[in-house]
Amino acid sequence: MFTGIIQAVGTIASLAQQGDAVRMTVGAGTLGLDDVVLGDSIACSGACLTVVKFGGDVFEVDVSPETLARTTLGRLAAGSPINLEKALRLSDRLGGHLVSGHVDGVGEVLWRREHDNSVQFRLRAPAGLARYIAPKGSICVEGVSLTVNAVAGAEFELLIIPHTLKATTLGALKAGAPVNLEIDLLARYLERLLTADGGAPAGNLNLELLRSAGFAGH
């Protein structure tokens, strides 16, 4: 698990094709690797990957065909910046929200607007993810835990402060850029609890249903 609080921006040093998968070597930047061991998980722009080799300030991960197809990692090249976060320890502060590192889909930046102390973005999510995105809810974009400001259909808006823009790859995003999206885990589990078979809702969402699922007091 992760928190969506980026610890460093690394750089892809090289990409080596290995059958239908890719061995990716990542320059860790300021991410300390002293406590990393083989098999550890590191989120790379939101995708949880397993460390298979490391040394100095670089580490290597294998990226499966599924991950290449369903995330932005398959579109990156040597020299591309990448958001990095080591897996959450039970003693760590949860500064963002619970993030699994399993990317749900790739969205698109529609526009970017500069403000005095922030940058406003509008993004479009894949249609199947839109129902999980709510105003003031959490969403993970390129591995970054963010708060949704507004929602209109499959489109949603974010307001990002200067620190986040500087400390992550989000500061370089422009209209048309693809981005990894992971919806809030709570939204997916709540839907599952409120459906009979994981498909259509068993009924309209109301206080009685929330109480029966344990999400509201009596």
Q: Which amino acid is at 44?
A: C
- The SS3 call for residue 172 is helix
Structure confidence by residue, pLDDT tens digits, 169-199: 999 999 999 999 999 888 877 777 777 555 5
Which helix (H) or strand (E) segment is 16 a member of? strand 8-18
- Going from the C-alpha of 44 to that of each of 2, 148, 165, the distances in angstroms are 11, 22, 17
pLDDT of 3 above 70:
yes
> Would you kindly state where each structural domain of the chain is located, as residue ranges?
8-86, 105-189
At residue 90, the pLDDT reads 77
Distance in angstroms (rounded) separating the CA atoms of residues 66 and 3: 23
Residues counted in the chain: 218
* Confidence (pLDDT) at 212: 67
Q: Does 60 have pLDDT greater than 70?
A: yes
pLDDT at 205: 60
Instruction: Select the more confidently predicted residue: 31 or 98.
Output: 31
Q: How far apart are CA 79 and CA 9, in angstroms?
A: 12
Whether 8-86 shares its CATH topology with 105-189 is answered yes
Task: Give me the DSSP letters along 103-170.
Answer: --EEEEEEEEEE-SS-EEEEEE--GGGGGG--TT-EEEETTEEEEEEEEETTEEEEEE-HHHHHHSGG
Is 27's pLDDT higher than 90?
A: yes
Angle, vertex CA 127, rays to CA 123 and CA 128, nearest 5: 120
pLDDT in tens, 107-125: 999 999 999 999 999 999 9
Q: Which CATH number fits domain 105-189: 2.30.40.10, 2.40.30.20, 3.30.1330.10, 2.102.10.10?
A: 2.40.30.20
What is the CATH code for 8-86?
2.40.30.20
